[in-house]
Structure 1
Amino acid sequence: MELDLVVRRVEWKPCWRIIPTRLPRINVYGRIASADDFAALDAVEQLTNERARMHAGGSYGKNVARDCGAEIILAPFAHPNPNGSRYSDGSYGVLYAARTLATSIGETRYHRERFLRYTDEPEMFLPMRAFKLDADGKFHDLRGHRRALPAVYSATSYAASQPLGKRLHERGSHGLAYDSVRHDGGQCVAAFEPAPFSRCRVGRELLYLWNGDSITDVLFLSRGAGA
């Protein structure tokens, strides 16, 4: 079926990506060194920081290399999820982003709940940061094929979607555009490379409320400088 998929340009300015964060922000060097040593410690850390090395090398396109939020864009490729995801078996990285903030919340809310249930976490607040990115690239388009590809769109299994993603990745695809499985009417992209993304900036600071069984609410704490 993937051979019949149309490749379409996706231009979302912006799209959204939400990742865990920590509030208040902490300078990890503050516990072990004086402020005079921060610059030297940061330089040493950059030597083994894969995201920083990708950024410095500029191997993923001019948009990313120039962007001040490049490390956020490069992170999923520098550190692929070894457990895999909807369109990856864990052997390569994928950047997932949603067309709207509501869809990004729906997607990340589900995955945070799944992780917290698996690890049997007690009640807690989960600080999350929503980034706005500009997306402009060509993707294999799965949108509108949910009925034709029910296994790929399964809400509980990646048995069909991971092989599809791997085949397209091996054939040089830039990624997929697809209908959100966690937010009705939402749209997402799964990018196999960072080149389609630029202008990464903080959009919102969020707080997910976990009651030991589910995330009961999402609080909007602030707007980012680039919102």
Structure 2
Amino acid sequence: MVEPVSLCPVPGSEIIKSYRLVNSKFPPIALFDDVASDKEFDALYALQALTNPRLQNEVGNLNLIPRSEIPFGITGCAYATAPFTHVNPQGSRFADGAFGVLYLADSMDTAVAEVRHHQQAYWADVRGLNYERFVFRGLVCHFEETGVLDATVLPLSHAIYAPDDYTFSQAMGASVKKRMAPGLRYHSVRSPGNTCWALMTPRPVASIVQSCHYEMVWNKQITSVNKLVASG
């Protein structure tokens, strides 16, 4: 296995424009966007917790991320932080469920391809689901790539790119996290020829804004993905 110590950081310090797709049933967490500092956040959280018993569920597990890593004051702080306070316990390509990762793609088409694959696998296991439509929110993210390790030097045949076995990629992600590198640039597995990023902290994010919505139509499998256009 290639350890991250043998991977070099991406050269330069570009601001990268990237894309993400999230299920629209999860609204942004307003509290993160209403404050400009960790002190303001703690004060407002304590105040709102007195009258909102659902606040902890909305905000997520704040013990999973240091306050210093939350980019308070940016546009879309909630979108940047949510993957780190609402962690998928089943894990992902570069995480075993113990910590969060912000996954980004080089285009919306790449983001759609990645999400479509995982939605297909998830809903295929739901018994009796014949027809449904799921709506996703498209996000545009700008982040600083400084310090991100470059795994695109590894071929798609490398073990970290195995389609369904995440053993090696999760070990790589844990090592990147331990090294305190901000993230990893890697080849998209579901959209070959394109690029994705796995940020281990939201700190590099400069902004995340909503762009448009997409629907995935399930008819015993995902049969179509459509960009939704607002009427009127």
- Counterpart of 1:71 in structure 2 is 78
String of CA shifts for 1:49-83, please: whole Å, max 9, x gaps: 436979xx95225xx21123111110110111111
Would the alpha carbon gap of residues 175 and 41 (structure 1) be closer, same or farther in structure 2, given more than 3 Å must change? closer
Match of 1:202 in 2: 210
1:85 has 2:92 as partner: yes
1:130-172 CA-to-partner distances (Å, cap 9, x unmatched) read: 111102132111113125x621110111011111111121121
Tell me the secondary structure at the aligned position of residue 161 of structure 1: helix
Alignment of 1:216 with 2:223, yes or no, is yes
Structure in which a larger fraction of residues adopt strand: 1
Match of 1:21 among 11, 19, 24: 24
Q: Contact conserved, 1:47 with 1:53, CA < 8 A, in 2? A: no
Once the two structures are TM-superposed, the CA of residue 124 in structure 1 deviates from its matched residue by 0.7
Q: Residue type of the partner of 2:139?
A: F
**Helix, strand or coil: the match of 1:107?**
helix
Letter matched to residue 162 of structure 1: Q
Between the two proteins, the alignment pairs up a number of residues equal to 202
TM-score w.r.t. length of structure 1? 0.80
Structure 2: gaps spanning 5 or more residues: 28-47
1:81 maps to amino acid? N
Q: Aligned-residue CA RMSD in angstroms?
A: 2.6
| Preserved contact between residue 51 and residue 74 of structure 1 (Cα < 8 Å) | no
Distance change in 2, residues 1:86/1:50 (3 Å): same
Contact kept? 1:52, 1:71, Cα under 8 Å: no
Looking at structure 2, the residues matched to 218 and 165 of structure 1 have their Cα atoms a distance apart, in angstroms, of 30
* Aligned mates of 1:73, 1:209 — CA distance in 2: 27
The residue identity in structure 2 corresponding to 1:139 is V
Q: Distance in 2 between matches of 1:7 and 1:43?
A: 46
Percent identity between matched residues is 26
Asked if 1 retains the 8 angstrom alpha-carbon contact of 2:61 and 2:85, the reply is: no
CA distance in 2, matches of 1:160, 1:208: 30
The one of 130, 143, 159 equivalent to 2:167 is 159
Runs of 4+ aligned structure 1 residues displaced above 3 Å come to 9-13, 40-43, 49-54
- Residue segments in structure 1 that go unaligned for 5+ positions in a row: 26-39
Cross-structure match for 2:177: 169
- The corresponding residue for 1:7 is 9
Measure, in 2, the Cα distance between the counterparts of 1:44 and 1:160: 42
Q: C-alpha distance in 2, partners of 1:19/1:10?
A: 27
Distance 1:10 1:197, change over 3 A: same
